[in-house]
Structure 1
Amino acid sequence: MECSRITAALLAASALVPTSALAQDSVEDRLDKLEAMIMALEARMDAQQPTGADAAAVSEMRAAVAETRAVAAKQDALETRVAAVETSDRSGFHVGDTQIKIGGYVKLDAISARTNAGQYANDNIVRDFLIPGTIPVGGGESSGWDTDFSARQTRFNISTSTPIMGKPLNSMIELDFMATPGDGERTTNSYTPRIRQAFLTYDGWTVGQTWSTFFNVGALPDTLDFIGTTPGTVFIRQPLIRYTSKGGLSFAVENPEATITPFGGGRITPGDDAMPDVVVRFDKTAGKNAFSIAAIGRQLKVTDNDTGGNGSDSAIGYGVSASAKIGVGEKDDLRFMVNAGDGLGRYIGLNIVNGAALDADGSLETIASYSGFAAFRHVWNDKARSTIAGSYFKADNPVDLTGGGATDTVWNALANFIYSPVPKLDLGIEYMYAERETEAGLDGNLQKVQVSAKYSF
């Protein structure tokens, strides 16, 4: 009778063991306790000569326990697979110890632009985004509203991270299709991929091609144009070697490339560079605010091959850039950048003016410039935002060397509205006005309306 009472109690207890609703740890604990009770019962049954019914009940309980463990194991395996899929979605995938992530975006731009002092050539890079130094000036005939569709800004990147001696060795390769040759708009609109970035980082070191240390990418405004506030912006990607300390101080040596105005005007790139460009930068973050200040020193050099046998010369260029992104209210922000220097050349505004000019004797004179931009972004709600921005560039050209065709000033202003109906999808419209004036007093303007659709992945 005692054995029968124990059997009945154990059967009741086994009925309370859940097979799916309880957490895994709770199921295992209860099964362990139940098995311990079964073992105790079997020991007592051996001493009391149990009936066949008691033995059958114990066997039934053992089968129930085994079945419950199997169900729990299947549930655990399913949860593990779901977690693995979720982790893969967030963090890419692994090959051995290396984590691999794929990213980028697909973007379509529909641009309609008008210039008042000349016509842009068809299927030319200047029709894809603002290049300030190319705005036509003078008495040329006004263009109509010329419209182009393009997906060339679409980009793709792959990054990796591998633990090496307790620290991650990271790499990035990124491609897009901007500013490259193709078969044009007439048939298939195919364009050659180009390398944007290719670099690795380890323990504070960055080696490869990426954004120049002189350029604070985080300060760029939220625009549909490829750059937006181009006249007032540092914009350079190039091969470099950089070290960044944990305190935010960076030191870099970067690829040198001089752009020189030959006597009377024009542009040459001598390729006689001997010393790398040297950049020092400090970054500071405080809450929603981020600040950056950078300084650069560079050598500009020419030889007999560039001066027509008039001798070799070199000059020192230098400059500073300060920028910030400042939180305004709960979600808005103000972004700005100011730049000043002598011989900055290609670092500002996609090379609006050159770094130096040659005189008749083959001597170099550096060209000073001043530039900057400001942009305010307002977040209307969780799905909509707008940016208004303006930028300005001023050069101090030695006109007796460069001639009157060199750019004196460029400025632009823009406003946009961007709507994101679902995460990572941006639909937007933007209006831009830009104006350029030369040292000779000739001017011209550009108006542009751009509609874009962009999906990031």
Structure 2
Amino acid sequence: MKKYLGLRLSALSLGCLMALPGIAMADEAREQALEQRINDLEAQLQQLASEIRAQRTAPAAAPAALPAGKLPIQLTTLTPGSPSGTTLKVGGFVKADFMVTKAHDGMLADGATGRALYIPGQTPVGGNSSDAVYDAHAKFSRFNVGIDTVTEGGDKAGAFLEMDFFGNALGTQTSTNTYGVTVRHAYAYWNHWLAGQTWSNFMDTSALPDTVDFIGPTDGVIFVRQAQVRYTNGGFSAALENPETLIIPNGGGGGVASDRGALPDLTLRYGWKGDWGSFGVGALLRSLEIDRAATGTVPAANDSEGAFAFTVGGKWVLGAHDDLRYQVTAGDGLSRYVGLAVTGDTAVSADGNLDAIGGFAGYLAWRHAWSPKLRSNLVFARSQYDNPIDLTGTAVNKSVQSFRVNLFYSPMPKLDVGVELMRANRELESGVDGSLTRLQFTTKYSF
């Protein structure tokens, strides 16, 4: 038995000795394979590093060429909080005005708004001729931002905000000439709908003439910005707009604003456009309101009256160098919308009942381009009112009108230099009147 076990151990030992070279060879093969894999990984890393360095040093690829007449598309968004398809537009202009004004029948007060732009109701009447006065300012300069989004499904939405510097004076003309920022437009839109403050739907901005004065045909033009909700579809638009009633006190005096309306003003418009120009018709339906408690000798008043007005106007292209722009408006209770509130929308009787004031307003403007850089305009505007003088007295405005001629020179696109001569007149129901002459220069750069 011992002999048998000894033979087994001897055989096992001999087998182990014979297997050692094979084990060593297998280990060597595995080491070679591992080393090869490491070498392959190092080569791949070196190639990747080389590609990264090449990308960092290579010049940026030039954008694809745009079709003729197309503007470049914004490559990166300036509105990261907005959905894709949103663009941003910044615009406005810098405008400086220099004017010499002479009132022939009175005097414009120091600091009067009528010293900065033409306000028909401020033309002095019934006095002696005053000396000419010089004024200069840049308060009508403006800045705006527009946001527009177009989705893949074709929906459109956006917002528009515009400010100017026609607010109350924050500094004196002695030193800083500082004025407050004022909101002109602030609205949002979605497809056919608009909500916010902008031009009244009763107004036709496409028919406004080209003038040096901030408004121009102020006597006869519809000119109102206010909050509203508007629906537009093609040439048709309808809006519910902020109501406000201007009331002439019983016996006369300055108009008093009444903010007691329970119904918004309803405006309707339809317009057409073509190579021939543009034409539009509009309607205004209002509820004139008064609601006041008795104060002293003034009795309480609580009454309402409906008022209706209509307007037509547009631009008629006469040729390559000429066009006519015009507007005619008539109806009751239209004064707040025309001529910067020349008179009241309504008068009030001694017992507190309202009587709407009828009126007629309009303007005509001829524009002629003498050359690509030189153009001029002739503008006449007028409005007159049928005041119930038994309620208003005879010291209220019966009519206002103005005539102006101007010349603009544009040495380069977006830059205008202009000069304008205006003659204006205001007449009261009593027959007393007054005239105003103004020579005005302007410079304007739009962006």
* Band of TM-score, shorter chain: 0.7 to 0.9
- Taking the TM superposition and a 5 Å limit, the aligned residue runs for 1:205-284 are 205-246=193-234, 248-266=235-253, 267-284=255-272
Using the TM superposition, give the Cα deviation of residue 382 of structure 1 relative to its aligned residue in structure 2, in angstroms: 0.9
The 3 A distance-change label for structure 1 pair 286 and 195 is same
Q: Distance in 1 between matches of 2:292 and 2:403?
A: 43
Counterpart of 2:118?
130
Q: Distance in 2 between matches of 1:337 and 1:92?
A: 42
Are residue 353 (structure 1) and residue 337 (structure 2) matched?
Answer: no
Root-mean-square deviation (Å): 2.4
Using the TM superposition, give the Cα deviation of residue 268 of structure 1 relative to its aligned residue in structure 2, in angstroms: 1.2
Are residue 187 (structure 1) and residue 175 (structure 2) matched?
Answer: yes
Scaled by the length of structure 1, what TM-score is found?
Answer: 0.80
The 3 A distance-change label for structure 1 pair 299 and 351 is same
Q: Distance in 2 between matches of 1:130 and 1:306?
A: 37
Using the TM superposition, give the Cα deviation of residue 190 of structure 1 relative to its aligned residue in structure 2, in angstroms: 0.3
Q: Distance in 1 between matches of 2:178 and 2:161?
A: 21
The 3 A distance-change label for structure 1 pair 280 and 99 is same
Counterpart of 1:118?
106
> Matched residue pairs, number?
384
Counterpart of 2:61?
77
**How far does the alpha carbon of each residue in 1:64-90 deviate from its partner, in whole angstroms, 9 at most, with x for none?**
xxxxxx99x97872345999x962699
Are residue 443 (structure 1) and residue 430 (structure 2) matched?
Answer: no
**How far does the alpha carbon of each residue in 1:219-269 deviate from its partner, in whole angstroms, 9 at most, with x for none?**
1100010111111101000000010112x1111100000010110112211
Q: Distance in 2 between matches of 1:384 and 1:414?
A: 17
Counterpart of 1:11?
none
Q: Secondary structure of 2:121's partner?
A: helix
The 3 A distance-change label for structure 1 pair 160 and 451 is same
- The structure whose residues are more often helix, as a share, is 1
Task: Pick the aligned partner of 2:364 from 374, 380, 385.
Answer: 374
Q: Secondary structure of 2:390's partner?
A: helix
Deviates more, 1:251-260 or 1:328-337: 328-337
Structure 1 letter corresponding to 2:61: A
Indicate the structure (1 or 2) with the bigger Cα radius of gyration.
Answer: 2
Q: Secondary structure of 1:296's partner?
A: strand
The 3 A distance-change label for structure 1 pair 111 and 254 is same
Using the TM superposition, give the Cα deviation of residue 94 of structure 1 relative to its aligned residue in structure 2, in angstroms: 5.6
Counterpart of 1:148?
135
Scaled by the length of structure 2, what TM-score is found?
Answer: 0.82
Q: Distance in 2 between matches of 1:280 and 1:337?
A: 16
**How far does the alpha carbon of each residue in 1:134-166 deviate from its partner, in whole angstroms, 9 at most, with x for none?**
11100x222212011100000000000123453
**How far does the alpha carbon of each residue in 1:263-322 deviate from its partner, in whole angstroms, 9 at most, with x for none?**
011221122111000011101112231001000100011124278444411111110010
Are residue 404 (structure 1) and residue 394 (structure 2) matched?
Answer: yes
Using the TM superposition, give the Cα deviation of residue 445 of structure 1 relative to its aligned residue in structure 2, in angstroms: 0.5
Using the TM superposition, give the Cα deviation of residue 93 of structure 1 relative to its aligned residue in structure 2, in angstroms: 5.3
Are residue 87 (structure 1) and residue 99 (structure 2) matched?
Answer: no
On the 8 A contact 1:209/1:238 being kept in 2, the answer is yes
Q: Distance in 2 between matches of 1:331 and 1:91?
A: 41
Q: Distance in 2 between matches of 1:145 and 1:259?
A: 32
Q: Distance in 2 between matches of 1:222 and 1:74?
A: 53
Q: Distance in 1 between matches of 2:230 and 2:66?
A: 40
Task: Pick the aligned partner of 1:160 from 147, 152, 161.
Answer: 147
Are residue 363 (structure 1) and residue 348 (structure 2) matched?
Answer: no
Structure 1 letter corresponding to 2:413: P
Structure 2 letter corresponding to 1:204: H
**How far does the alpha carbon of each residue in 1:4-48 deviate from its partner, in whole angstroms, 9 at most, with x for none?**
xxxxxxxxxxxxxxxxxxxxxxxxxxxxxxxxxxxxxxxxxxxxx
Give the fraction of aligned pairs with identical amino acids, expressed as a percent.
38
Task: Pick the aligned partner of 1:384 from 370, 374, 381.
Answer: 374
On the 8 A contact 1:117/1:141 being kept in 2, the answer is yes
Using the TM superposition, give the Cα deviation of residue 199 of structure 1 relative to its aligned residue in structure 2, in angstroms: 0.6
Q: Distance in 1 between matches of 2:115 and 2:268?
A: 35
The 3 A distance-change label for structure 1 pair 212 and 279 is same
Aligned structure 1 segments of 4 or more residues deviating by more than 2 angstroms: 73-76, 78-83, 85-98, 163-166, 179-182, 304-311
Q: Distance in 1 between matches of 2:171 and 2:65?
A: 46
Q: Distance in 1 between matches of 2:75 and 2:202?
A: 32
Q: Secondary structure of 2:146's partner?
A: strand
Using the TM superposition, give the Cα deviation of residue 182 of structure 1 relative to its aligned residue in structure 2, in angstroms: 2.4
Structure 2 letter corresponding to 1:104: G
Q: Which runs of 5+ in 1 are unaligned?
A: 1-69
Q: Secondary structure of 1:401's partner?
A: helix
On the 8 A contact 1:92/1:102 being kept in 2, the answer is no
Using the TM superposition, give the Cα deviation of residue 409 of structure 1 relative to its aligned residue in structure 2, in angstroms: 1.0
- Taking the TM superposition and a 5 Å limit, the aligned residue runs for 1:396-435 are 396-435=386-425
Q: Which runs of 5+ in 2 are unaligned?
A: 1-53
- Taking the TM superposition and a 5 Å limit, the aligned residue runs for 1:267-306 are 267-305=255-293
